[in-house]
Amino acid sequence: MSKTVLLIGTLDTKGREYAYVRDLIRARGLETFVLDAGVLGEPVFTPDSSAARTAEAGGGSLAELREKHDRGHAIEIMGLGARALAVKLAAEGKFDGVISMGGSGGTSIGSTAMQALPVGMPKLIVSTMASGDVGPYVGVKDITMMYSVVDVSGLNRLSRRIFANAAGAIGGMVEQTMPKAEDKRLIGATMFGVTTPCVDRVRARFEAEGYEMLVFHAVGSGGRSFEALITDGVFDGVVDATTTEWCDELVGGVLSAGPERLDAAAKKGIPQVVSLGALDMVNFGPRDTLPAKFEKRNIYIHNPEVTLMRTTPEECAKLGEIIAKKLNKTTGPTALFVPLKGVSAIDVEGGPFYDPAADKALFEAIRKHLDRSKVELVELDLAINDPAFADAMVDRLQKMLKK
């Protein structure tokens, strides 16, 4: 059965370019489905789904968008509409991969739709924006960005080659077959450099017992990806050992995962064991990027590109309260593991971030705010990287998974 590629584009201004890519995709023996998101005029060719339908799906009307001449509003509405329609079509199994092309507006529309599609579904954007910061467009999904080099409007000797490469790329993605592999139960975990020994042992234990484990680096994007995949129902259970991104969210570091961090597993109700990994640190870039207001704080140079700042007792108390209240919303089996002898590799006696007062404030806030009728509290007289601590988390999650 032939595979189908969804094309999302503004067919009024870039119809010739989309027709070129569509024809190249069809030449590979693939089907296409074209979704129009153009506002300014009539499409160059007839799409499979009209711009009027896209606008309606986004909560507006094409006539009103044309009358208002508000480009930003139009892009927002058409992006929302493209997303709603793409999600519906994907649920119906109508396409196997998606491609979009554009400048900032077209890229925004295409990426808004793609960010709502499942991880693993091929997604490609040819964009003038692809050589800069693509984080807002990629989000936490596996979107491939291809730099257009020249403007996406117009067919010339260079753009035709780039568009042909894009057509070949999306065609190859949707035609690619996965080698057969055994589907194992899947565990998600979070890790930082200073909690690596803990998570490495957790992974070894689970893999030895037939599980597969995905580990996410808690650097902001890692936490967001972790939360998104939980929401998508990918995991059977999680070991959220490293909740450090909340330090950056609270204090103003560079690795925040946003205020929704710790929400997904609680809402999803999947078994989770959580710990306080690296709550002793806020992250910044090179030493000279540290904000002046923090100059008198306890600072540790992790490497030339990463500067760490020790959290204070006041900050730790607030972190403990936040984490406890997040976990209190759980709808599934949850246990919080507290490493009383240190929450990171450098928060141990003799380490540069060893601060009993700060740790005490963190632990006391946890005890004060945690609803123990919903969340099991496990306090161990161990550091987070002690093998016995990792073993305790694995043992507890395995019991949850067997119920």
Q: Residues 33-49: pLDDT tens digits?
A: 999 999 999 999 999 99
- Please report whether residue 339 resides in a domain: yes
Residue 296: how many CB atoms within 10 A of its CB?
Answer: 7
Structural domain including 347 reads 186-402
Q: Are residues 123 and 257 in the same domain?
A: no
Closest CA to 318 of 358, 353, 287, 346: 358
Q: What percent of the chain has pLDDT over 90?
A: 91
| CB-based contacts of 331-334 (< 8 A; 24+ apart in sequence) | 331/266, 331/267, 331/268, 331/269, 332/265, 332/266, 332/268, 332/269, 332/270, 332/271, 332/272, 333/271, 333/272, 333/400, 333/403, 334/265, 334/266, 334/271, 334/272, 334/273, 334/274, 334/374, 334/375, 334/376
| Spatial contact of 149 and 198, defined as CB atoms under 8 Å apart | no
Distance CA 167, CA 272 (A): 42
Residues 6+ apart with CB under 8 A from 234: 119, 186, 188, 214
Mean pLDDT of 242-271: 96
Identify the residue with better confidence: 279 or 153: 279
Is the torsion defined by CA of 4, 9, 12, 13 positive or negative?
negative
Closest CA to 243 of 293, 190, 202, 203: 190
| Residue 251 confidence (pLDDT) | 97
- Please report whether residue 180 resides in a domain: no
| Residue 312 confidence (pLDDT) | 98
Q: Are residues 383 and 272 in the same domain?
A: yes
Q: Are residues 241 and 275 in the same domain?
A: yes
281-325 pLDDT, tens digit each? 999 999 999 999 999 999 999 888 999 999 999 999 999 999 999
Q: Are residues 193 and 239 in the same domain?
A: yes
| Spatial contact of 365 and 301, defined as CB atoms under 8 Å apart | no
Band of pLDDT at residue 181, cut at 50, 70 and 90: low
| Residue 75 confidence (pLDDT) | 95
- What CATH code is carried by the domain that includes residue 284? 3.40.50.12030
Q: Are residues 157 and 236 in the same domain?
A: no
| Residue 180 confidence (pLDDT) | 75
- Which tokens hold the place of 228? 């998104």
Residue 345: how many CB atoms within 10 A of its CB?
Answer: 21
Task: Report residue 370 CA to chain centroid gap.
Answer: 27
Q: Are residues 123 and 198 in the same domain?
A: no
Per-residue buried b or exposed e for 24-57, using 16+ beta carbons within 10 Å of the residue's own CB: bbeebebbbbbbbbbbeeebbeebebbbebbbbb
What mean pLDDT value characterizes the chain?
A: 95
Of 132, 147, 175, which one is at a domain's C-terminal end? 175
pLDDT higher than 90, residue 183: no
Q: Are residues 259 and 373 in the same domain?
A: yes
| Residue 403 confidence (pLDDT) | 75
Mean pLDDT of 123-140: 92
Query: What's the whole-model pTM score?
Result: 0.79
| Residue 179 confidence (pLDDT) | 79
Segments of 142-236 assigned E as strands: 144-147, 186-191, 212-217
- Please report whether residue 91 resides in a domain: yes
Band of pLDDT at residue 58, cut at 50, 70 and 90: very high
| Spatial contact of 297 and 327, defined as CB atoms under 8 Å apart | no
Closest CA to 100 of 76, 129, 73: 129
Mean pLDDT of 338-344: 98
How many domains is the chain built from? Answer: 2
Q: Are residues 398 and 317 in the same domain?
A: yes
- Please report whether residue 181 resides in a domain: no
pLDDT higher than 90, residue 266: yes
- What CATH code is carried by the domain that includes residue 151? 3.40.50.12020
Q: Are residues 226 and 357 in the same domain?
A: yes
Q: Are residues 214 and 329 in the same domain?
A: yes
| Residue 133 confidence (pLDDT) | 86
205-247 pLDDT, tens digit each? 999 999 999 999 999 989 999 999 999 899 999 999 999 999 9
Band of pLDDT at residue 83, cut at 50, 70 and 90: very high
